[in-house]
Structure 1
Amino acid sequence: MSNRFQSLLDAQRENFLSDTTKSLDWRFEQLDRMERMLLENKDDWCAALYADFGKPPFEQMFEISVPTGVIKYYRDNLPSLIAPEPVAIPKGLEATGNRGVIYKEPYGVTLVIGPFNAPILLLLDPAIAALAAGNTVVLKPANTTPATAALFQKLVPQYFSPENVTVVTGGRAEITELLELPFDFIFFTGSSAVGKVVMRAAAEHLTPVILELGGQNPTIVDATANLEIAVDRIAWGHNAISGQWCIAPGFVCVHQSVADLFVEHLKTSIRRMYGSDPQQSPDFARMITTHDAARVASYILPDKVVIGGRSDIAARYVEPTILYPSDWSDPALQQEIFGPVLPVLTYDDIDTLLMTIKRMPKPLATYIFSKDQAVVDKILGSLSFGGGCVNQTNLHCWIDTLPFGGVGASGMGKYYGKAGFDALSNRKAMLIGNPDVDLDVFPPYAGKDIAKSLSVFG
């Protein structure tokens, strides 16, 4: 049975094999086209995001401004990123006129599969890195954001030649068929369950992958934290996109001496952000499906609700909710919530808490609120996670000097800025020899001073 997308792959591969995509001019042109596609259709993008799940204006513009910022980074830095990179080699080899150089070459045809929660940003950021590195790109937007996917299907052919960038829409059947093909690189952002499917498919062709997955992200608040500032950052970090953010604080562990006060401040912060009826707030998004709304609502234990707790499944609405005091056995602590329900637990001994968290799957992010550097250092030295913040939440993933990605169950591979360029490039290591100076390392070995011969490598 023929694959519907084989011709698409073949056209991009032929284009790549021509070496066209390796030029600086080609890369700049693709970045310019991407920027124009975003900025010239800004209102349409925002309208699609609102149609799909009620994204508020600030979160809509975030999806435009972040990719255009990434484009600017690559436009400013591409010449130096592309340039061959001299590296140190053993002094003996260097003394005989040899030198080490790393060349950066693109992988080839790259499949980028995006998620629903930031359907523009998290599809295009990897694509922008791929194009900057000289790869062609096949875009697969999420099928659960139909308005945004339809806009991609409409606009991509208007701005790009299909042998450079093209788009495939659809659901599971289309993804399954795409994954049957021998892409040169696959970049997937989404759930751990689908990430495993992607990795199994990639293994059939030994295709390298970056998997940006998720997890239940811990937030630790100790007794020294500035609670009034911490709660605003946690409330926003958790409830933006209605909690459907892979880097959202998943649960909060607060030192028992300040836990009650923390919860009171957090309740005040949520009311200030979203009002007494968040369903009417223009700043609070909806769940992506009724199924997800029902799933998240099922985590709400009425006897632990201190604010929120209401839901309207048909309207895909779950109210921002705090569960306190929560327990490690509660339903909301058994998986990534991916919704606006926040369990708050207490702790009294940091070592016991860290051991509990270390036994959980490694998260994508961790957040620490403390003024005690010794506590911060202890947490950072003990826990393994993709990245995070101290006395902030969420913002680390949009800074181009900070590689972003997961570890263990939360993913593999890093991208963003230079890390993104490097991740989508094969770093080809080369030893450039001196054609006129002999190295006495060849047979016959009898009578040779072996140690002297090998000293050039030391």
Structure 2
Amino acid sequence: MTNRFQSLFDLQCAYFLSDATKSYNWRIDQLDRMERMLTDNKDALCDALHQDFGKPPFEQLFEITVPSGVIRYYRENLKALIAPQKVELPKGLEATGNSGVIYKEPYGVTLVIGPFNAPILLLLDPAIAALAAGNTVILKPANTTPTTAALLSELIPRYFAPENVAIITGGREEISELLQLPFDFIFFTGSSAVGKVVMRAAAENLTPVILELGGQNTTIVDTTANLDIAADRIAWGHNAISGQWCIAPGYVYVHESVADVFIAKLKASLVKMYGEDPSQSPDLARMISEHDAKRVASYILPEKVVHGGRYDVKARYVEPTLLYPSTWDDPALQQEVFGPVLPVMPYGNLKEIVEIMKRKPKSLAAYIFSKNQAVIDFILGSLSFGGGCVNQTNLHCWIDSLPFGGVGNSGMGKYYGKAGFNALSNTKAMLIGNPDLELDVFPPYTGKDIAKNLSVFSGEE
């Protein structure tokens, strides 16, 4: 059966093979087009986000301003990023007129599959990195944000030629068909389950991938933490996008000696942010679907609700909810919640809970609230996770100097800023030899001082 997307893939492949995308001017032109698309259509894009699942104004603008900032980074640094980089060689090689150079070259035709929770930002950020690195891009937005996907499918052809950037809408059937094509690179953001499907398909063509997945992100609050700061930042970090954020705190371990005070402050933070009736708050997004509202509501154990607990599946609403004291046997700790239900667990011995967490799937993020550097160092040295914050939550995900990505079950590969450029580029390492250097390391070996000739490679004088 003919692949519906073969002709588009072939068009981008042929254009990439023309070497046009490798020029500085082509890359800057694509970045400029992306920036104009975001700027010219800011209001329409924000409105689409609100229509799809009630994103509040701050979360709408976040999806426009972050990609715009990434574009500015690449515009300011692109010449340095694409320039060949000289590297040191063993002294003997350099002394005899050889040099080492690293070239960054684009992979080719790149598929970017975006998620629903940040359907502009997490679709365009990888695309921006791909374009800066000189790749062509086919975008696949989430079908569960239909208004945003429809708007992007209208805007992309208006600002980009199809051989440079194209967009395909649809669902599982379209993704399956796209994954049959021999892309040069695939960037996927979404669930671990679908990430495995993408990786299996990529393996058929030995296509490199970046997988941005998720997991239950740990948060630890110790006895030295500023509890007011911790409560505010955890309340916001967990409930932004109604908890549908891959880096949201997934659960909290709080030291038993401050647990009651912390819970009280966390309740107060939620009321301060979303009011006594969060269903009326303009600052709380809705769940993406009735199915997800029902799923998240099923994690609410009435006997453990210390705040919230109300929901309306038809309205796709789940109230910001605190469950305490939670245990690892509770439904909310069996998988990533991806919603505004936060389990909180007391702990007495830090080493014991770290040993427990080390045996759980590695998370995309972790957050530590403490003023004790020895505690911070111990946790950072013992736990493996993608990235995170100390005395903050979530903010690390939009700083272009901090590579972003997961590890293990939470994904593979890093991007943002320089890391994104490097991830979407093949590193081509070259030894530039001295054309007149006589170096006899060839057979026959009898009677030759091979060690002397090889010393130039080892760095020996």
Which category describes the TM-score, using the shorter chain as reference length?
over 0.9
State the match for 1:66 in structure 2. 66
1:82 equivalent to 2:82? Answer: yes
Residue identity opposite 1:161 in structure 2: A
State how far apart, in whole Å, the 2-side matches of 1:338 and 1:216 are: 9
State the match for 1:167 in structure 2. 167
State the match for 1:322 in structure 2. 322
1:98 equivalent to 2:95? Answer: no
Q: Deviations over 1:321-365 (max 9, x none)?
A: 000111111000000000000000011001100000011000000
Secondary structure of 2:447's match?
coil
Residue identity opposite 1:205 in structure 2: N
State the match for 2:133 in structure 1. 133
Shift of 1:92: 1.0
State how far apart, in whole Å, the 1-side matches of 2:299 and 2:428 are: 49
State the match for 1:227 in structure 2. 227
State the match for 2:382 in structure 1. 382
1:1-400 counterparts in 2 under 5 A? 1-400=1-400
State how far apart, in whole Å, the 2-side matches of 1:170 and 1:37 are: 22
State how far apart, in whole Å, the 2-side matches of 1:448 and 1:370 are: 64
State the match for 2:424 in structure 1. 424
State how far apart, in whole Å, the 2-side matches of 1:190 and 1:243 are: 15
State how far apart, in whole Å, the 2-side matches of 1:434 and 1:387 are: 44
State how far apart, in whole Å, the 2-side matches of 1:223 and 1:77 are: 43
Secondary structure of 2:314's match?
helix
Shift of 1:441: 1.5
Secondary structure of 2:103's match?
strand
State how far apart, in whole Å, the 2-side matches of 1:200 and 1:451 are: 46
Residue identity opposite 2:190 in structure 1: G
Shift of 1:14: 0.4
Shift of 1:440: 2.4
Shift of 1:282: 0.3
State how far apart, in whole Å, the 1-side matches of 2:87 and 2:448 are: 30
Q: Which runs of 5+ in 1 are unaligned?
A: none
State how far apart, in whole Å, the 1-side matches of 2:143 and 2:125 are: 18
Q: Deviations over 1:201-236 (max 9, x none)?
A: 000000000000000000000000000011100000
Shift of 1:165: 0.2
State how far apart, in whole Å, the 2-side matches of 1:438 and 1:200 are: 48
State how far apart, in whole Å, the 1-side matches of 2:181 and 2:214 are: 26
Residue identity opposite 1:390 in structure 2: V
Secondary structure of 2:363's match?
coil
Q: Which runs of 5+ in 2 are unaligned?
A: none
Shift of 1:450: 2.1
List structure 1 runs of 4+ shifted beyond 4 angstroms: none
Secondary structure of 1:100's match?
strand
How much identity, in percent, do the aligned residues show? 78
State how far apart, in whole Å, the 1-side matches of 2:200 and 2:241 are: 30
State how far apart, in whole Å, the 2-side matches of 1:255 and 1:351 are: 12
State the match for 1:450 in structure 2. 450
